[in-house]
Amino acid sequence: MFSLGLSRTFLTCKILAACCPTAELFPAYAFLYTDVVSLATVPAFIQRLLRFGGVVLVLLIIVGLEDPPPVVAAADPPGELARHLAAIANLAQASPMVTIPAGWFLMGTNRKDDDPYGLDTQYDDTELPQRRIWLDAYAIDRDEVSQADYLTFMRQPQRQPPQELQRLIWHLITVHFLPDYVMASWPALYVTWAEAAEFCRAQGKRLPTEAEWEKAARGSEGNLFPWGHAAPSPGLAVFGQYHVHEIPLVAAVNGGEEGQSPYGLRHMAGNVAEWVQDWFMFDYYAIMPERNPPGPPTGRYKSVRGGSWKSNPHLLRAATRNGAVPDQRSATIGFRCAKSGPGTMVEGAH
């Protein structure tokens, strides 16, 4: 297994997706949150590009790739499925919120080059350098937004659950006979960034900034993982899972107490990765303000944090940064909401 460095990660991700159908990239443009790709899946000529540079050739090939397909509006679900969706939505129970006190915390990672495969080593250059950052007090959901909460939101006029979610739930009902109450407590799945942001606004909240998310995940002293420095294990996080039919192997959002963060947040590592407010910028840490960083003003990818049920341990690190195009729908990305404290100036960002 290997991890691409900064320049090669972002120059070769799309070509890997185009050439490696077995690689864990779905789709190509959601490359940032995906797991490490096995070098064995990469054709020989790509391996040579990765080992010896080939930046110009990679750029030429990237230019020829197609843009993501347009988002297609979901159709009304059929009667029996609609009844199950309504039953799941009726079990919605909002997450309690946790107040994160004002103060400094350590964001990012100090460069380490003597142990390339160690968990203490930066996943890539995007989390460098480590900075001491001040955040005003804010509140953040203890739990990820649940499937029931999301379906309640999607019952509003002019909205329908996405086709991917409808197909998944129908499959779980008719093939696996999964009861509604089990699916109700799952994290929201197949949610775009815009839908996540709109959901939070409808609750009088917003998505957390990347800095807020990281502080809530690792505490003020820079924990490697939410629970501390111990390597991930099944009791601490939901990760490293695989299902031949891509059935999400997730846990209830209100579980995960053993692996909670210093502030008591659940599933800040694994289960589903989480959309945050910020645009993704490769070198933002070097230039971000030291007080209440709002994220870059624009970009192409939105930041995604925390790793998912499919992730390897390196992606569960509290400092590991990832991202995806805002209209990406995935069985590995969910979200949680946050709320500014009095006088905090984050509300208008992005």
Lowest mean pLDDT among 45-59, 64-78, 160-174: 45-59
Sheet holding 273-279, edge to edge: 321-324, 302-305, 273-279, 333-335
Please say whether the beta carbons of 130 and 106 come within 8 A.
yes
In the predicted model, what is the mean pLDDT of residues 133-149?
98
- Its CATH class, for the domain covering 79-340, is alpha beta
Residue 320: what pLDDT?
A: 98
In the predicted model, what is the mean pLDDT of residues 127-145?
98
CA 127/CA 222 separation, integer angstroms:
13
Residues of the chain above pLDDT 70, percent: 76
Please say whether the beta carbons of 335 and 198 come within 8 A.
no
Q: Is the pLDDT of residue 49 over 70?
A: no
Q: pTM for this one? A: 0.79
CB atoms closer than 10 angstroms to residue 217: 24
Q: What is the residue extent of each domain of the chain?
A: 6-63, 79-340
Q: Is the pLDDT of residue 108 over 80?
A: yes
CA 348/CA 199 separation, integer angstroms:
16
Tell me which range, 36-50, 113-127, 331-345, is most confidently predicted by mean pLDDT.
Answer: 113-127
CA 34/CA 124 separation, integer angstroms:
13
In one letter, which amino acid is 267?
Answer: H
